[in-house]
Structure 1
């Protein structure tokens, strides 16, 4: 049984809808309805092209009529196996278009003629959909009833065909004197002694399963050793050779050598200043330093993928393609490989799936060459194809522009942040919020999570440098209590950042500190203590460094979710590499799902709030990982790391990423 069915215009105008249950009617009017979520993610954000969308126990299927800009949506409970939904959508679309195509075409033309939103709203109010669609309810009921009756007959026929052979295969029922307890089949030719040995062996085997070691190696093995006292297991073990101390040189290190190699404790300022080999200039790249705004805020630079003169896609990104000479031989080559694909679509016609199939396949290969995950490339191309099928185009220029613009629009829509990426604004808003006089200000906390070896600690220190430049006091919580050297690595970063100061000057000691409790401790407890310490000592921001873990390790993911649930950080930033393709989707999906599933016990589930992509300078224009990560979560990429100094942090601009992806 269906729960909801609707026919809408792509502009958001509902032409007709039907809810079959009171719960579905109430849900359809709420902002969190599955249909609204589908429209938001499939149309506005362009993040799904699957044939089925699931949310809150409902399954939603849909289809388009692009030339009339219509969306047909059907929603039903996910637990139900409604096999006729696809056929119903096809028949529903064909019947509605056949009955009301002139009316819908006139309505769409009137919308396009209106320029302002106010005029559009006024124009929509003039159209009487109830009168125009008079009789559609009866036609829809008849159509739906036919599919439901056919599905019921199919179920009955399948039930008859499956139950008849099962009944025939049933033999005579067991007699009442048959015991239900397991018995041991015994050959009559065996003597009593053989039977006793078999029973004893079975008892030993069953007793061995209950041993602490499990399997057959427990008590059974002990009984065998008792029956064979002269076995090899009774021979005394050879004494192990004593472990000798390894010598690293001819002479033992002196006390001065040990002091110079000891990084486990903070040294006095004089000792730090005497380190002649410590080059402060190597920690800051002056060419990559950010800029100061009029308000004195320090902003990191924007990432630009190319310094060359290749501007072939500038007009595309600006939304205005230059006219192409269809007779010129260079018109197709000027667009590169993608242009040769688009040149197959020539003439004035209505685009079909067969026309677009080779073009979309070439587009998919191009995206995968740019390091976009294969699954994401498939969905992006499907989304572009759905928006182009049924459109009328004429001439090479129009077709090329339509396909180019559809791909560019889809990529821009996916990459455009749905939430604010201004992390500094979020921090200042929380720190400036009014509090009672008896309550201390709670610092802004950011947790950095990710797999092993992606550069969480290094890029955490870059973010710390950016925060220090904006006059904030930062406390770094060393919650990686597993990896050897993790605490010492953060201690070195804190020492360096303390010497760099604001704008690379010296003496910023006191703006950054390290909070650590050693190794082998509970990370959630250390983070809680760090936030409490920061609150008592007037720190502005707490950066929580977590241990790297693989996305399939459930115990470690539960521990990470515990840290999130206990401390409720303001931001959870996933740190991933720009080098990965399909692996980025798997990592991010499982991290986000694990955090939401395992932290929901506290009453509010948390997922990934943003991404920081590292090693960005190693991929040139193959920036598909940014598209894959944003597509999976719908969350923005806040920063990218692109070097080895504290200033090597960049912001992403959507136009630059789209330009890099479309670049041939």
Structure 2
């Protein structure tokens, strides 16, 4: 039932391999190494109908990989991997420790077949076992109160006669309660009758009053309703219609600031995160002392009182034992809680700590290194690696290349409601025109009231910063809009066609905000991307979110893949992280987003002006996250 099982070193040398089919397994194994092992991820990896799972041996630097059809649900894979790992280590541990090891004398077929048969039998046995016993939460005992389960000193357990007397007392109490309810009901009826009599008397008195003469002046009425200007009547429609520019709108009061001009030429500057060099050094020292004592007690043999003291501490510091998961568990728990407190999603924090445990398990700790320092350093490296781009994204270079090919470079922005898509689109537009690129903004948010007017205002402000007189009489930013209630995919297609005919360099497509669970709107977004095929799809997300970031990105990617009806759907290419200036050092959303998608954070929004756009600095963000 297995398609592949291979054992190779971290240097890429295959020690032993089993192949169940004639399929070429190099692409899926290389994809596993590139996307999972090098990224220090864990779990099952799917590739072209295959499911791949791996196990690391850090002491001998070996990797065990198993592959099987994705449609199969094999419950014994984890146990099988562990058994093969232990068997191979025990058989060839002497050969693996040799420096100039021989990579051709590993005969493991008989042991592999035996372990596989045992694992398959174990899997079939597990399938036939009865259901597990119900948990404590499902039992009747969990529903009892704490007071009922406390046995006080001197209190005897109730006998059968005592239980009967308790039941009699309870029945008497119930009868008394029923009587009191009946009495209360009777009292309420009496009160209602008295109220009715009083109301009748009051009505008779009112009837006896003299009728008012018609000549008497009318009484003052209460508060009158306020009538607002432009309240939405038919007469107000000409003034409320903002689809076309009016003379007073064209004369904008915006005064361009010369301080902005020329500040964003070339590449975007790196993000500077304020670092606190005094990060909990005292806490680190206390944790390291605790780990030294714990590690020393776990490794050093029990000695008499005379041989204790500093000698036992040095024995604990010296690397004489392989690290186990129990040794690291305390440090991992603290780091997981720390990541969650810094806004990293809970399941992502757990996976990160699990990958660190897998990477360090079996390694010999270095001399005078503590467990906390080792675990923290490994996690720090893993976080930097996650935030570092896996591929080159050079938008300026790509725009210039597209300009040489006489076609516009197209970027599409998507995301949930209110994250700042239009605002950050304007910031990116300012950066592009600072580098002498003409931009066309496609107003494809045909749903939100004021979306087109917002982009038109940005267009006027940006053109005021770069007047047309300085660019051969041509405006640097143009807006393509067709009003509200139209098909966004059609507007984007017309905008791209117009940009190509007018020789415009870049097209920025602004889409409507939508929740990830709204299927019709997600279908519309997938249609827009499929029909227009933009060069770059950017997801705009807030730095304020924690667990919600995972749900948003997963469902956006899944919707783009499911509703595109393509074998190779165009999913999210990069992330724009907004409102980064509002979170202080709780920068965990950056980790969650990049871990889920594997795509880089291209831009970071840090304020309200056009120049508040930065590039992510992985080391600075990780430093802020770990302090």
Q: Provide, for residues 491-535 of structure 1, a one-character-per-residue CA deviation record: whole Å limited to 9, x for no partner.
A: 111011110118999998511100000111000000000000001
Q: How far is the alpha carbon of 1:100 from its aligned partner? A: 0.7
Structure 1 runs (4+) deviating above 6 angstroms are 502-508
Residue 362 of structure 2 aligns with which residue? 390
Determine the C-alpha separation between the residues in 2 that align with 1:613 and 1:543.
17
Q: Provide, for residues 153-177 of structure 1, a one-character-per-residue CA deviation record: whole Å limited to 9, x for no partner.
A: 776x679xxxxxxxxxxxxxxxxxx
The answer on whether the counterparts of 1:59 and 1:76 sit within 8 Å (CA) in structure 2 is yes
Q: After the TM superposition, which residues 147-546 of structure 1 pair with which residues of structure 2 at under 5 Å, given as runs?
A: 147-149=119-121, 151=123, 247-248=227-228, 264-266=243-245, 272=250, 275=252, 277-281=253-257, 286=260, 290=263, 292=265, 298-306=266-274, 310-311=276-277, 333=282, 335=284, 345=295, 347=316, 348=318, 349-394=321-366, 396-397=368-369, 399-433=371-405, 441-501=406-466, 510-546=475-511
Determine the C-alpha separation between the residues in 1 that align with 2:484 and 2:544.
31
Determine the C-alpha separation between the residues in 1 that align with 2:243 and 2:543.
33
Q: After the TM superposition, which residues 105-144 of structure 1 pair with which residues of structure 2 at under 5 Å, given as runs?
A: 105-106=97-98, 109=99, 128-130=102-104, 132-133=105-106, 135-144=107-116
The answer on whether the counterparts of 1:345 and 1:396 sit within 8 Å (CA) in structure 2 is no
Residue 178 of structure 2 aligns with which residue? none
Local SS of the residue matching 1:60: strand
Q: Unpaired segments of 5 or more residues in structure 1? A: 111-126, 160-243, 293-297, 314-329, 434-440
Determine the C-alpha separation between the residues in 1 that align with 2:67 and 2:566.
31
Residue 555 of structure 1 aligns with which residue? 520
Determine the C-alpha separation between the residues in 1 that align with 2:16 and 2:540.
45
Residue 43 of structure 1 aligns with which residue? 37
Q: Unpaired segments of 5 or more residues in structure 2? A: 131-223, 297-315
TM-score, structure 1 as length reference: 0.71
Range with greater deviation from structure 2 (94-103 or 387-396): 387-396
The alignment covers a number of residue pairs equal to: 508
Local SS of the residue matching 2:66: strand
User: Kindly tell me: are residues 624 and 498 of structure 1, through their superposed partners in 2, closer, same or farther at Cα, counting changes over 3 Å?
Assistant: same
User: Kindly tell me: are residues 4 and 522 of structure 1, through their superposed partners in 2, closer, same or farther at Cα, counting changes over 3 Å?
Assistant: same
Local SS of the residue matching 1:358: helix
Residue 214 of structure 2 aligns with which residue? none
Determine the C-alpha separation between the residues in 1 that align with 2:230 and 2:86.
89
Q: How far is the alpha carbon of 1:645 from its aligned partner? A: 0.8
Q: How far is the alpha carbon of 1:620 from its aligned partner? A: 1.4
What RMSD over aligned residues (CA atoms) do the two structures have, in Å?
3.2
Determine the C-alpha separation between the residues in 1 that align with 2:622 and 2:60.
29
Local SS of the residue matching 2:422: helix
Q: Provide, for residues 285-309 of structure 1, a one-character-per-residue CA deviation record: whole Å limited to 9, x for no partner.
A: 65x97454xxxxx333221111x6x
Q: Provide, for residues 426-476 of structure 1, a one-character-per-residue CA deviation record: whole Å limited to 9, x for no partner.
A: 21222224xxxxxxx221100000000000001000000000000001000
The answer on whether the counterparts of 1:7 and 1:15 sit within 8 Å (CA) in structure 2 is yes
User: Kindly tell me: are residues 371 and 504 of structure 1, through their superposed partners in 2, closer, same or farther at Cα, counting changes over 3 Å?
Assistant: farther
The answer on whether the counterparts of 2:390 and 2:600 sit within 8 Å (CA) in structure 1 is yes
The answer on whether the counterparts of 1:290 and 1:299 sit within 8 Å (CA) in structure 2 is no
Q: How far is the alpha carbon of 1:422 from its aligned partner? A: 1.7
Determine which structure has more spread, i.e. the larger CA radius of gyration: 2
Q: How far is the alpha carbon of 1:602 from its aligned partner? A: 4.4
Query: Of 48, 53, 65, which aligns to 1:56?
Result: 48
